[in-house]
Amino acid sequence: MIRLRIALLLAPLFVFACKSSQPQKPATQPAPVIEQRSQAAASQRQQWLDMFARAYFPGRSGQVYVIPKQGWFVTSRDPLYVFMHGSPWDYDVRIPILFHGAPFVKGGSFSVPAKQQDIAPTVGSMIGAASLPTYTGRILNEAIAPGQGRPRVVSVIVLDAMRADYFDTYAAVMPTLTRMRKEGAWFSEARTVVLPTVTSVGHANIGTGSEPRFHGITVNNLFNRATGRFQEAYNRLDTQELMTLTLADNWNLQTDGKAVIIGQGGAIRAVAGLVGRGACLISGKKILAASYGGPDGGWETNDTCYTKPKVLDHFVGRKIWEAAGGKWMGHDIASTQKFRASALFQKYEAEALLAVVNDSAIGADEVTDLIYVNMKGPDYTAHEYGPQSNEQRETLAELDRQIAAYLALVDKKVGGPGRSVTIITADHGAPPEPPPGGRVYLDQVIDQLKKKFDATGQIINYYDDAANNQLHLDTARLQTLGFSLKDVAAFLDGLEVFEAAFTEDEVKAAQARLPK
């Protein structure tokens, strides 16, 4: 390690520091205190390994895994992604889990651990769905009021990148969500328990009640070793990558398609993980599902699996940003991508959902209908401007107004209050502004790997720019050059930006110790 650090310091293009190699001062604490700290560090390392292990899927996961230093992150140079999540730190993993809807929900604040995988079993218990053998979550009985029958509609609303502490920080501009928190069942210790903390992974956890080692959605962008290229999760809106049933799939089959099931959101990597396969499942019936996309900022779907609601044909993002003169809060929003990081997009996204729900037959009979929603606005705004920005405040204020309108519409559709349940949660959080030097770029890390191991860069198949903590390497070439995955992990562990690094073998060994 000393040899590696000297080499790094001599590298002429070295762009970020190695961890300090200064001699440590003699310990002044008693030996038991030092031992306790050592045990705590080992426990934390094992916790990270377990989080990667829950997300490891053969052929899809990488060969080396890294943990960024707290407050630091690796991102691309795309101006739309100035901030990047994906870490195990509280700002990325602590999420809201809130059940709302008397008389079915028992109100209170509960400090028991809760996770994304608990939502599907809990909703399933409320509506009478058969338990799936792939569930790794538990039923949150703390939230269920017994003996109340079944709600007519259950809505699972995933507020993308919605940190749990937003409920405190932005309470003044979120009166509806604040009221729901007071009235409903709030799980104060809810956290994600898999890595990376990214959109496709979190939504699949929520939709399936399982985790990536079973459902197979490991990152936003998968590296395909057969083609030698990366591809987005649910490539070309294809659902075949999802390896387990969602609760929506299960309910579709159990009700023989009688239940109305709606899935809608800002990205297919969110929607598909929530609702599953629809008619692309043997005996499954088509469900209503669509995601934001296309050159004009419209809505798209997989026509084989889903039906796109016709009312969405009237919603075109271009009309919104052109009407605003291509500006919002002084920012350029005149494109499909730029538009997303604005409160105008959040309003557009929610109004499209309201139109779909209003046009549907939800709540018309005693068969519980399911509505799965991804609200992408908080994520895109946080990526560009950060979670503590005025832009995020405006986006969350608009989000809260639209949640109020949505609750009112659902009450109208089901025939009044007290007949529906709404769950509010998130797929992941968002990092704050990093300290000086704490924003590190993918190309900087890649340059250092090239200098150390292979100037051609051919050992690097892919470094996931949407998760920033998995590297896909050409292990055969690496071995030919006289290096191992352990060498790469040790090198990365020596860079200041990373707190820890692991090899695929370490992650697989940790997975072998997890409950079956």
pLDDT at 9 (0 to 100): 33
Q: Give the least confident one: 60-69, 203-212, 318-327, 462-471.
A: 462-471
Q: Looking at the domain assignment, is residue 14 inside a domain?
A: yes
Q: What tens digit of pLDDT does each residue of 119-169 get?
A: 999 999 999 999 999 999 999 999 999 999 999 999 999 999 999 999 999
What distance, in Å, lies between the first and last C-alpha atoms of the chain? 37
Q: What is the mean pLDDT of residues 49-64?
A: 97
- Is a pLDDT exceeding 80 seen at residue 382? yes
- Is a pLDDT exceeding 50 seen at residue 294? yes
User: Comparing 27 with 271, which gets the higher pLDDT?
Assistant: 271
Distance from chain centroid for Cα 78:
20
Which of 375, 404, 425 is the last residue before a domain boundary?
Answer: 425
Question: Is residue 4 very low, low, confident or very high in pLDDT (cuts 50, 70, 90)?
Answer: very low
pLDDT at 16 (0 to 100): 58
Query: Domain total for the chain?
Result: 2
Residues 471 and 504 in one domain: yes
- Is a pLDDT exceeding 60 seen at residue 15? no
Based on DSSP, count helices (H) and strands (E) in the chain, helices before strands: 19, 20
Q: Looking at the domain assignment, is residue 270 inside a domain?
A: yes
- Is a pLDDT exceeding 80 seen at residue 1? no
Q: Looking at the domain assignment, is residue 218 inside a domain?
A: no
User: Domain span at residue 364?
Assistant: 95-211+245-425
Residues 326 and 440 in one domain: no
**Cα(228)–Cα(105) distance, rounded to whole angstroms?**
49
- The residue written with tokens 């697989």 in the block is 508
Residues 258 and 392 in one domain: yes
User: Comparing 361 with 4, which gets the higher pLDDT?
Assistant: 361
On whether the CB atoms of residues 316 and 336 are closer than 8 A, the answer is no
Q: In this prediction, what percent of the chain has a pLDDT beyond 70?
A: 93
> Of 152, 106, 110, nearest to 128 (Cα)?
152
Q: Looking at the domain assignment, is residue 219 inside a domain?
A: no
pLDDT at 458 (0 to 100): 95
Residues 144 and 279 in one domain: yes
On whether the CB atoms of residues 421 and 155 are closer than 8 A, the answer is yes
Q: Which residues contact 491 (CB under 8 A, 6 or more apart)?
A: 4, 448, 449, 452, 453
**Cα(280)–Cα(284) distance, rounded to whole angstroms?**
7
pLDDT at 20 (0 to 100): 53
Q: What is the mean pLDDT of residues 383-395?
A: 98
Q: Looking at the domain assignment, is residue 102 inside a domain?
A: yes
pLDDT at 27 (0 to 100): 54
On whether the CB atoms of residues 191 and 128 are closer than 8 A, the answer is no
Q: Looking at the domain assignment, is residue 237 inside a domain?
A: no
Residues 101 and 66 in one domain: no
Residues 290 and 352 in one domain: yes
Q: Looking at the domain assignment, is residue 26 inside a domain?
A: no
Residues 486 and 337 in one domain: no
Q: Looking at the domain assignment, is residue 103 inside a domain?
A: yes
Which of 380, 400, 425 is the last residue before a domain boundary?
Answer: 425
Q: What is the mean pLDDT of residues 248-268?
A: 97
The angle subtended at Cα 62 by Cα 57 and Cα 67, nearest 5°, is: 105
pTM of the model: 0.94
203 three-state secondary structure: helix
**Cα(51)–Cα(66) distance, rounded to whole angstroms?**
12
Residues 161 and 265 in one domain: yes
> Of 451, 446, 474, 475, nearest to 66 (Cα)?
446
Identity of the residue numbered 426: A
- Is a pLDDT exceeding 60 seen at residue 374? yes
Q: Which two tokens stand for residue 515?
A: 């409950």
- The residue written with tokens 């990366």 in the block is 230
Residues 334 and 460 in one domain: no
Q: What is the mean pLDDT of residues 24-39?
A: 65
User: Comparing 503 with 1, which gets the higher pLDDT?
Assistant: 503
Question: Is residue 480 very low, low, confident or very high in pLDDT (cuts 50, 70, 90)?
Answer: very high
Residues 413 and 452 in one domain: no
Question: Is residue 214 very low, low, confident or very high in pLDDT (cuts 50, 70, 90)?
Answer: very high
CATH at 385: 3.40.720.10
On whether the CB atoms of residues 339 and 370 are closer than 8 A, the answer is no
Q: What is the mean pLDDT of the chain?
A: 93
Residues 116 and 196 in one domain: yes
Residues 69 and 101 in one domain: no
Residues counted in the chain: 516
> Of 300, 395, 393, 294, nearest to 341 (Cα)?
395
Q: What is the mean pLDDT of residues 432-451?
A: 96
**Cα(178)–Cα(167) distance, rounded to whole angstroms?**
7
Question: Is residue 412 very low, low, confident or very high in pLDDT (cuts 50, 70, 90)?
Answer: very high
Q: Which long-range contacts (CB under 8 A, 24 or more apart) does 174-183 make?
A: 174/396, 174/397, 174/399, 174/400, 175/400, 176/400, 176/401, 176/403, 176/404, 176/407, 177/400, 177/403, 177/424, 180/98, 180/100, 180/403, 180/422, 180/424, 181/98, 183/100, 183/102, 183/107
Q: What tens digit of pLDDT does each residue of 172-192 get?
A: 999 999 999 999 999 999 999
Which of 425, 442, 464 is the last residue before a domain boundary?
Answer: 425
On whether the CB atoms of residues 238 and 246 are closer than 8 A, the answer is no
